[in-house]
Amino acid sequence: MTSLTGKVAFVAGASRGIGAAVAEGLARAGAAVAVAARTEHENRLPGTIHAVAERITAAGGRAIAVPCDVTDEGSVETAVAATVAEFGGIDILVANAGVLWLGPIESTPLKRWQLCLDVNLTGVFLVTKAVVPHLRSRGGGSLIAVTTTGVDMIDRGSNAYWVSKAAVERLYVGLAADLQADNIAVNCLSPTRVVLTEGWQAAGGGDIPPDMVEPPETMAAAAVLLAGQDGTGITGTVQRSDNPLAQRQSR
């Protein structure tokens, strides 16, 4: 297993699903983890930042729960500052916060379209903008944005979710060139199949054949490998969870 001992990770969207699995995986690899999301109390979906942080510390890891609304720049800056104050810096970002809307364009309400862009794209921009100076001050690090294989499924039409995630891939692949001189790896990571998260099920993602399902722990293992990269390693790529580090050049 990749050792992340001495590293600090900020995981946005970590109260449940992929984000929670990634936060716990990074902690098992030795990183101190800021578990960041809006959810501090149980609501219609299970999972809170406090529950995830408590599981990490109960297993012997280091974690803090950090309230964070990725669509609010002030909230993001406060969460990042709290992480730095607690752990002394940040070396790894996993930008996972997201909302799902798979409806066809002609029946998509404007507010749903805007919400996907606000959370899935602008949210990645804001957390990335906030943490880059901290990675630079540490001499390098790793930025990881969670995307989706739906970006490539153009034969199945379009929706707000896939469009927002495609924009994130362009943002990160381009950012890799900007930050390579700072020794910062910038990569995207998507599930190879479907992770049946609480959000997927609540949004009515539909029934998925068993052979098309993967557990969130697959994403966690891949994220740990990418978290161990810097600007001298794998950067500027879009990776799939079942074969991380295979794509050595940007698309």
Residues recognised as catalytic: 161
Round to whole Å and give the CA distance between 218 and 195: 9
Please, are residues 159 and 103 in contact by the beta-carbon 8 Å criterion?
yes
32 φ, ψ to 5°? -85, 135
* Radius of gyration for the chain, computed over Cα atoms and rounded to the nearest angstrom: 17
Going from the C-alpha of 38 to that of each of 41, 75, 108, the distances in angstroms are 9, 10, 25
Those residues with Cβ within 8 angstroms of residue 251's Cβ, 6 or more apart along the chain or in another chain: 169, 173, 237, 238
Three-state DSSP state, 39 = coil
Show the tokens assigned to 179.
């930050």
Show the tokens assigned to 44.
């219609």
Name the burial class of residue 110, with classes exposed (0-12), middle (13-18) and buried (19+) by CB atoms within 10 angstroms of its CB: exposed
Strand partners, 63: 33
Give kind and range of the element (H or E) at residue 94. Answer: strand 92-95
Three-state DSSP state, 153 = coil
